[in-house]
Amino acid sequence: MSRLTQTADSVSAPVPVRELSVVSADGARIHVEVHGPEDAPAVVLAHGWTCNTRFWDAQVRDLAVDHRVVVYDQRGHGRSPEAGPGGYSTRALADDLEAVLRATLEPGRKAVLGGHSMGGMTLMAAAGRDAVREHGAAVLLCSTGSSRLTAESLVLPLRAGALRTRMTAAVLGARAPLGPVNAASKMIFKYATMGRGSAPERVDICARIVHACPRGARVAWGHVLAELDLEARLRELRLPTAVIAGTEDRLTPPVHARAVEAALPHSLGLTELAGMGHMTPVEAPEVVTAKLRELVAAYVTLEGAGSAAEAVGEEEVA
């Protein structure tokens, strides 16, 4: 039976070949898992708000057969403790990613970097960092945006304007517990985060992951997202970058993906997934995994390394 026809609780997590605790710039400890053969092409994946490493289970199971796959828990999520003195900020996101890259990739080793939602924002925030320049070969941004998250959100069925923006910000920072995962909560969760075409078992997987997020981290990161503005950082993301979005994404509607794709210095195009919502790596795992494989084949393997360097060099000269 496929893992995607079962609930998250009934399927064991992929077993990493190595686990480590990486220390970020402010002393925060970040839980990291490494999967797959050591000498295989590398992929590093950053999950989104209220998620954890298990969000990438489908990609890890497929890719780790012939790729080195690194996943980590964003600070305050999963097995990464609450924030250190640096707190919660886009700078902290960049610091944490940089620490993970330094700890898991040898000097000069290239990897495809993938991010979903806040994980995509992590890649934008870190675009100008030395570790990203050293280790990044190409990027996949899934269901994400660079700014105006509360203004463009469609979660609340209200007319666009100041009231909807304020109420959306309040929802992002709400301290109310999410409660148990049951039929009612999954119905609400699916409406807010997933598309009509999402299979029930995939809704269950995502709901269990999100409901497990510690309240403190959920609220703190919610405040960061409400004030997000990474447009300037996005323009520094000079790696070849592909974008994926669901047409029924209410949290980061396709308007964000289109704006991100238009602002990228080296865009590889936007793929819009009909009937899918915000949780694209779980809702459409085959598409996301195939895109990661495509980027690895073009920009990380020996066959694609030369052409990738030439493409980036030509873009920078232009």
**Residue 280: what pLDDT?**
98
Condensed to tens digits (0 to 9), the pLDDT of residues 119-178 reads: 999 999 999 999 999 999 999 999 999 999 999 999 999 999 999 999 999 999 999 999
Instruction: Tell me the residue type at 22.
Output: V
Distance (Å) of CA 136 to CA 85, 101, 300: 28, 9, 9
Identify which of 307, 300, 280, 317 has the alpha carbon closest to the alpha carbon of residue 108: 300
Condensed to tens digits (0 to 9), the pLDDT of residues 264-285 reads: 999 999 999 999 999 999 999 9
The whole-angstrom separation of Cα 114 and Cα 69 is 11
* Burial letters 131-151, b for 16+ CB under 10 A, else e: bbeebbbbbbbbbbbbbbbbe
Length of the chain: 318
**pTM above the 0.85 mark?**
yes
Condensed to tens digits (0 to 9), the pLDDT of residues 303-312 reads: 434 334 444 4
Instruction: Tell me the residue type at 256.
Output: H
> Hey, is 203 helix, strand or coil?
helix
Identify which of 140, 142, 137, 105 has the alpha carbon closest to the alpha carbon of residue 298: 137
Which residues pair with residue 273 across a beta bridge? 246
Structure tokens at 306: 């030369």
Report the DSSP pairing between strands 29-35 and 136-142.
Answer: unpaired
Fill in the DSSP letter of residue 89.
Answer: S
Any alpha helices (H) in the chain, and if so which ranges?
57-63, 90-104, 118-125, 130-135, 149-152, 162-172, 183-193, 200-211, 215-226, 231-234, 254-263, 280-283, 285-299, 302-317
Which whole number is the average pLDDT over 171-189?
94
**Residue 11: what pLDDT?**
64
At 6, the pLDDT band (50, 70, 90 cuts) reads very low
